[in-house]
Structure 1
Amino acid sequence: MEEFSKASSLVMFDEACREVGLDPRGMLQRAGLPGDTLTHPDNMISFQRMAMLLDDCARESGHPLFGLELGLRQGTAVFGQLLYLVKNANTVGESLAELARYYHLHSSSGAVQMEVHNRLVILDYTPVLREGIPSRQVIEHGVAVGWQLLKMLLGRHWAPRALYLQTAAGAPARTYARLLNITPDFNSDRNAWVFDAALLEAPLSDADPALHALMQAHIDKLDELAPKELPAFVGQLLRSLLPNGKVSLNYVANYMMLGTRSLQRMLMEEGTSFQALLNETRQAEATRYLKESDISLTQLAGLLGYADLATFSKAFQRWFGMSPRQWREANSKSTGAKKPVRERRRPSWLR
């Protein structure tokens, strides 16, 4: 299964890049992530490419703790809607239990687990990374977000006993101590914060039970839809790639770091196919543009990734039994929308 993460995982990424002299859009493109990633926080992105992105940023900027510092900057903002659930639980323990239970809605790239041993809580974060994908930046990013979450929940009572990291240190230990108020145990068998179990009983004084109940119902509905997220992810990816014409099965599979057969098989298991999703996406985008804009049909064909207007018109005729022009005229009449503005020929002296 492809590993996804909400694009909200990169909130404030542009600020962090500019602070160390990097071009955020350029770094996104270099990692193979859509250029509009930062403006659509609820969209899903490839977690593997996000891991490569953070590694690229650390290397290019000369800031070896780029991922850690980004996570501290972002804090709980990465969780999006899920934050409203966990911050309105009754106690710290209930909050962390809900985070562990629903973390897959934020990211299917790993898991958050909570264990209690000898009156100590072990809050464990385990990302799923494929062979060859660098891990330190994304692991440190995750534990930094965890640090800010626990600080939000516990306030002045947040006093970790230990921090374990599976990776080697990327900077002197004193740098970690300055940022996290603790020196990690590197090269460990897990990535985890450790703190007193008594803190789990701490009440969340600002919790709103009514808001929590509302968010619980909303999150449960999202949870029911979670198994269908692969087709939605591919459809979202196609919408961002259509204007560039990069809508082949090979290109999309490569973006997802999968073989074409693997992607087709995974989509088939969800009751669809790549071609079906491409057709659905093009149909939806075509009717939206025809109804809501006055761009020319030639421009629309390009936006939908077609080589020319004739190819687009043939496909549209097959879908709807009429030409794009006829569909636009029929729907303009039914909705009272303005007729499209004809594209004017440019004067010869401007050509």
Structure 2
Amino acid sequence: MTSVVRAIALLGFDEFASSQGLDPRQLLMDVGLPVDTPERLESMIAYSRYIALLDLCAKQSGNPLFGLQFGLHQGAQVLGNLLYIIQNAKTVHEALKALKTFFHVHSSGGEVRLEFHGENAWLTYDVTDGDATSVRQDVELAMGVGTRLMQSLLGSRWHPSALQLRHSAAAAPSVYRHLLGVTPRFDSQCNAWVFDARLLDAQLSAADERLQQLIQRHVQDLERITLQELPAYVQRLLWDMLPNGKVTIEDVAGYMMISPRTLQRYLLAEDTGFQELLDKTRQSMSIRYICDSSISLTQLAGLLGYAELSTFSRAFTRWNGASPRKWKQRYIQDQAGRLHAGEAASQQSRPD
């Protein structure tokens, strides 16, 4: 099976390649990756072409540390929505466990592990694609991203005791130390950041357990979703996201780690579109919530992402043939009639 990586792995590529005196468009063409940014924002790209791009950049720039510096440039943002799961964990330990569990959603060509050796924890990265031969650039890029991730989680407390790398040095050890704060141990048995295991107990102040669970469920769903299931999946996202305010196609596409253009194209392939799904979701949500007499119409409008009650009222009338106020009055009357009919039937069935 061909290994793939999410296209967000190219986050900031044009800018960084240009800073290295390279032509990013020509490099992308040379390895067979989309050149135009909108087209490039597909959900997945071939891992083999991704590492070929890194190798070509290192060669043409004359910079053997291209991958490492590119990873430091990208930072943890390159993990896309996985970063939300990580940052909303309760502790650093839970954050790294989430990274390990869901990394394959980001890339099927590599693997992250968390190991314990005495009083130290090892955060390791291995390339699992058996067809990959030259992986130095990808490994060092991953270690650069790992540096930024741990800094984002621990701040000034991040002081690793060692960095182990399987390969030999591509530049003077002092250059590595300048970039990473430590001199790597080259020709080691694994690729790993080594640090005090007690740091894993550090609490993450920004933790939001509900958000973490929500995004985690979406990422799990994303692993097995088919094109035919996509419209229903988008509607489930809308049900979850609408109560927090107005939702755009950019918001939903961001959760799914694809471009808005790609999402719309996938939906059109299933004879629907984002706006149509948004309308259907709002329609069904409005009926469910309007049946709760404790919620006002103004609150309901806000819940469905409408800035004005009048805009919601027009949409509701279009869907249901009556204004929300009249529909709610009719619903209350129907409920009272059913209750009265039920009580009358109950009285008639009682023995004298």
Task: Report TM bin, short chain.
Answer: 0.5 to 0.7
Question: Deviations along 1:267-289, whole A, 9 cap, x unmatched?
Answer: xxxxxxxxxxxxxx99x67989x
Secondary structure of 2:85's aligned partner = helix
Correspondence for 1:153:
153
Q: How big is the shift at 1:202?
A: 0.1
Q: How big is the shift at 1:187?
A: 1.2
Secondary structure of 1:186's aligned partner = coil
Q: Does the CA contact (< 8 Å) of 2:34 and 2:40 recur in 1?
A: no
User: What CA distance in whole angstroms lies between the structure 2 residues aligned with 1:153 and 1:178?
Assistant: 21
Correspondence for 1:208:
208
Consecutive unaligned residues in structure 2, runs of 5 or more: 231-264, 273-352
Q: Does the CA contact (< 8 Å) of 1:31 and 1:49 recur in 2?
A: yes
Question: Deviations along 1:285-342, whole A, 9 cap, x unmatched?
Answer: 7989xxxxxxxxxxxxxxxxxxxxxxxxxxxxxxxxxxxxxxxxxxxxxxxxxxxxxx
Gap change, CA 1:131 and 1:107, over 3 Å in 2 = closer
Correspondence for 1:110:
110
Q: How big is the shift at 1:163?
A: 0.5
Sequence identity of aligned pairs in percent? 43
Amino acid at match of 2:202: A
User: What CA distance in whole angstroms lies between the structure 1 residues aligned with 2:178 and 2:32?
Assistant: 33
Correspondence for 1:64:
64
Query: Does residue 124 of the first structure (1) align with residue 132 of the second (2)?
Result: no
Query: Does residue 4 of the first structure (1) align with residue 4 of the second (2)?
Result: yes
Question: Deviations along 1:204-261, whole A, 9 cap, x unmatched?
Answer: 0112222212212212212343xx69xx9xxxxxxxxxxxxxxxxxxxxxxxxxxxxx
Q: Does the CA contact (< 8 Å) of 1:119 and 1:196 recur in 2?
A: yes
Gap change, CA 1:190 and 1:218, over 3 Å in 2 = same
User: What CA distance in whole angstroms lies between the structure 2 residues aligned with 1:171 and 1:38?
Assistant: 36
Correspondence for 1:221:
221
Correspondence for 1:94:
94
Q: Does the CA contact (< 8 Å) of 2:48 and 2:132 recur in 1?
A: no
Q: Does the CA contact (< 8 Å) of 2:33 and 2:40 recur in 1?
A: no
Gap change, CA 1:94 and 1:3, over 3 Å in 2 = same
User: What CA distance in whole angstroms lies between the structure 2 residues aligned with 1:75 and 1:184?
Assistant: 19
Query: Does residue 140 of the first structure (1) align with residue 140 of the second (2)?
Result: yes
Aligned-CA RMSD value: 2.5
Secondary structure of 2:142's aligned partner = helix
Correspondence for 1:16:
16
Consecutive unaligned residues in structure 1, runs of 5 or more: 233-280, 289-351
> How many equivalent pairs are there?
236
Query: Does residue 31 of the first structure (1) align with residue 27 of the second (2)?
Result: no
Larger Rg: 2
Question: Deviations along 1:48-103, whole A, 9 cap, x unmatched?
Answer: 11111111001101111000000000011111111111100000000000110011
Q: How big is the shift at 1:130?
A: 4.3
Amino acid at match of 2:8: S
Q: How big is the shift at 1:25?
A: 1.1
Q: Does the CA contact (< 8 Å) of 1:165 and 1:184 recur in 2?
A: yes
Q: How big is the shift at 1:128?
A: 2.6
User: What CA distance in whole angstroms lies between the structure 1 residues aligned with 2:59 and 2:151?
Assistant: 29
Q: TM-score, normalised to structure 2's length?
A: 0.63
Secondary structure of 2:186's aligned partner = coil
User: What CA distance in whole angstroms lies between the structure 2 residues aligned with 1:146 and 1:184?
Assistant: 14
Correspondence for 1:168:
168
Q: Does the CA contact (< 8 Å) of 1:52 and 1:133 recur in 2?
A: no
User: What CA distance in whole angstroms lies between the structure 2 residues aligned with 1:73 and 1:287?
Assistant: 40
- In the TM superposition, 1:46-61 aligns within 5 A as 46-61=46-61
Correspondence for 2:189:
189
Question: Deviations along 1:96-122, whole A, 9 cap, x unmatched?
Answer: 001100110001112100011201101
User: What CA distance in whole angstroms lies between the structure 2 residues aligned with 1:93 and 1:286?
Assistant: 41
Gap change, CA 1:131 and 1:75, over 3 Å in 2 = same
Give runs of ≥4 in structure 1 deviating > 3 Å.
36-42, 129-133, 284-288
Secondary structure of 2:102's aligned partner = helix
User: What CA distance in whole angstroms lies between the structure 2 residues aligned with 1:110 and 1:132?
Assistant: 10
Q: Does the CA contact (< 8 Å) of 2:162 and 2:193 recur in 1?
A: yes
Secondary structure of 2:125's aligned partner = strand
Correspondence for 2:75:
75
Correspondence for 1:342:
none
Q: Does the CA contact (< 8 Å) of 1:25 and 1:35 recur in 2?
A: yes
Q: Does the CA contact (< 8 Å) of 2:20 and 2:61 recur in 1?
A: yes
Q: Does the CA contact (< 8 Å) of 1:89 and 1:207 recur in 2?
A: yes
Amino acid at match of 1:156: S
Q: How big is the shift at 1:185?
A: 0.7
Q: TM-score, normalised to structure 1's length?
A: 0.63
Q: How big is the shift at 1:131?
A: 4.6
